[in-house]
Structure 1
Amino acid sequence: MSAPLRRVFVSRDAYRSRRLKDAARLLPVLGAALFGLPLLWRGEETARVGTAGTLLFIFAVWAGLILGAFLIARRFARAEAGAEAAGPGRPGPAPGGD
Structure 2
Amino acid sequence: MANLCGCGEIAKCRTSWTQFNPGRRFLGCPSFMDPTRNCNYFRWVDAPLPNRWYQGTMYQLHINLVNAQDEVVQANNQNSQTTFYNRVLIVLIVGMFLVRFI
TM-score range, shorter chain: 0.3 to 0.5
Bigger radius of gyration, 1 or 2? 2
Report which of the two has the higher share of strand. Answer: 2
Considering fraction of residues, name the structure with more helix.
Answer: 1
> Per chain length, whose mean CA-contact separation is higher, i.e. which structure has more relative contact order (CA < 8 Å, sep 6+)?
1
